Structure 1
Amino acid sequence: MRRLRADYPDAECALRYNSPVQLLVATILSAQCTDERVNLVTARLFADCPTAEDLAGLPLERLERYVQSTGFFRNKAKNIKACCTTLVEEYDGQPPRTLEELVPLAGVGRKTANVVLGVAYGIAAGVVVDTHVGRLSRRTGLTTQEDPVRVERDLMELLPRSRWIDFSHQMIYHGRQVCDARRPKCDTCSFRRFCPRVGVAD
């Protein structure tokens, strides 16, 4: 944790948003898609439809055209429209502030819920486990699990709650910049002295 904090003191969510609703939608779109692509798509989408009300009222076909380049666009568009409709009808157009209320929303699982709670609201309800966090946690011996929910459970037991939010951002930065899935830069990695799997890719 000290090494991560020293290497990535300014690590933060790479998705661009202006409200909790926009962060929720951007995170749904980020599944199987790069943050860069999501940011390109949401720049236009949020300019035209900034609120849950706007997104819920958008015809599905138009929403599909907005998000088409993010992949799996029909399913994503359907989930975004359904999710925003629920937000409007049950939560005054804003994402709720608990995992128990967020996870049942269309297109929202634990990862997305943890992103919204941690980034938008500063609530450490869990640890965001994306592909980078999962891969690095296995490589560094923090877990042997493959399932993201089980990885999260292991990390929550190991880490103090005060580090749950920043830990994920910092691990994601390290995964992108150093600990690449196929070609990890082990020779220059600051984790080298305590990584049990130096040079071994998952």
Structure 2
Amino acid sequence: MSQVITFLGYTPAPRYDGNPWTEIDVEEAALEAGPWNVIDTITISPVDADPEFPASRSLTTENASDTLELWYRLVFRDLSGDEEQPTLPVQNVAGRAAYATVEELARILKVNASQRWQSLRRVIEAAAFEIDMELDLVEPYASPPALVVQVNLQRAAEWWFLQEVPLGLAGIGSEFGSTHLARNSWDKYAFMLAPLKERWGLA
């Protein structure tokens, strides 16, 4: 049995020789260092009209092995078979449901989602777990309130900079402005979520 895996927002290097990228190899490995096996080849359609400005590509393969924690990477190729350097490997691991997407957080933090996917997903899931614990949720929201989505993004952004900079005042250059990274920084999010606890009689 195989499983379906989707790759979102991968942008190849620009080409200045007029030759567009035409195919993407999906490679799989048991270890991050390889060895790598091609499990699928995706035809790019339409190809870039101007290879100097390649489009971001998202793709799905149905040929991934039915095993978690394998590693995957993409290799862009042109019509003559010339290859770009492989993308950074990403691991297929079971994760907790989050209330925001990697793409949303990457846009706020102004980082490349495809290059920092694992780290971005980790902080989003960590923040979602804190929300579930705060609200005593047995099952995560299927359709989260807007407040939950907002807290998930803000807390994930804070987690991101806790791992990126020393504790203190960090001007993170995002939509959230400067953030004070304190030890008890969850308190403000608990306060934000309090109306939901009161709504369900959890306070």
Normalising by structure 2, what TM-score? Answer: 0.26
Larger helix percent: 1
Q: Which has the higher strand share?
A: 2
Greater RCO (Cα-Cα under 8 Å, separation 6 or more): 1
TM-score (norm 1): 0.26
Instruction: Choose 1 or 2 for highest CA Rg.
Output: 2
